[in-house]
Amino acid sequence: MTLLWKEISPGSVVGELHKGIISTAHIMRWCAAIENFHRIHYDLPFATEHDKLPGILINGSWKQHILVQLVKDILGEQGWLWKLSFRYKSMDVAGDAISAFAEVVEQRKINNLGFILIKVQLSDQDATVSTTGYAIGVVPISSDHPVPYPFEYDPAFDQMQLPRIA
């Protein structure tokens, strides 16, 4: 499915992604895949007693990956994720159920392409937002105006900027 610029507007909720409960096994597999073997991601006594953390931490790089997956799924096969910026607000730990959410904030036509500014966030089962940010995606204006491949930078695209994250 392809998201078309003309089919959305600011305030539109354009995506949700529910990853469910993240176990220590999920975290350990991610650590192995990216070769990050810091003990805070698998050793509960080390994480809680030595580093005084609330539990085994979910990797920040995994959280970043979920934001990219969310936006990629929203933009569809014809869209491009152009920019992404985010901030970690709190820690997520093993046993948390993680969900991602996206809402259109702004949209602009630039050089016959549809640019959309999307607010993204991750939250846990208690609706505590742990990660928040913005993405800029480029989508077709309509089905007869596709985004070119490869998508090449034009200085005019700088008309849309990522907001500062508080």
pLDDT, the chain, mean: 94
In a domain, 72, yes or no: yes
Q: Residue 56: name the closest of 85, 23, 11 by CA.
A: 23
CATH of the domain at 118: 3.10.129.10
d(CA 56, CA 125): 17
Across-strand partners of 15? 102
The answer to whether residue 41 scores a pLDDT higher than 70 is yes
pLDDT classification of 1: cutoffs 50, 70, 90: low
pLDDT-based confidence at 2, cuts 50/70/90? confident
Which residues does residue 85 pair with via DSSP β-bridges, in sequence order?
134
- Which parts of the chain fold into alpha helices (H)? 24-34, 44-45, 60-75
**Is pLDDT of 159 > 80?**
yes
Other Cβ atoms less than 10 A from the Cβ of 44: the count is 15
Taking CA atoms, 154 is separated from 71, 140, 157, in Å, by: 22, 16, 6
CB atoms inside a 10 Å sphere around CB 108: 14
Domain annotation covers residue 117:
yes
> Residue 86 domain-assigned?
yes
In this structure, is residue 150 part of a structural domain?
Answer: yes
* Residue 81 · residue 93 · CB < 8 Å: no
Can you give the pTM of this predicted structure? 0.92
Structural domain includes residue 94: yes
* Residue 37: inside a domain: no
Give the confidence band of 146 by pLDDT, cuts at 50, 70, 90. confident
Q: What's the pLDDT band for 115 if we cut at 50, 70, 90?
A: very high
Mean pLDDT, residues 102-116 taken together: 95
- Count the domains in the chain: 1
| Residues with Cβ within 8 Å of residue 111, at least 6 apart in sequence | 154, 156, 157
Residue 70 lies in a domain: yes
49 domain residue, yes or no? no
What is the radius of gyration, based on Cα positions, of the chain? 18
Domain span holding position 84: 5-22+58-159
Q: What is the pLDDT of residue 3?
A: 82
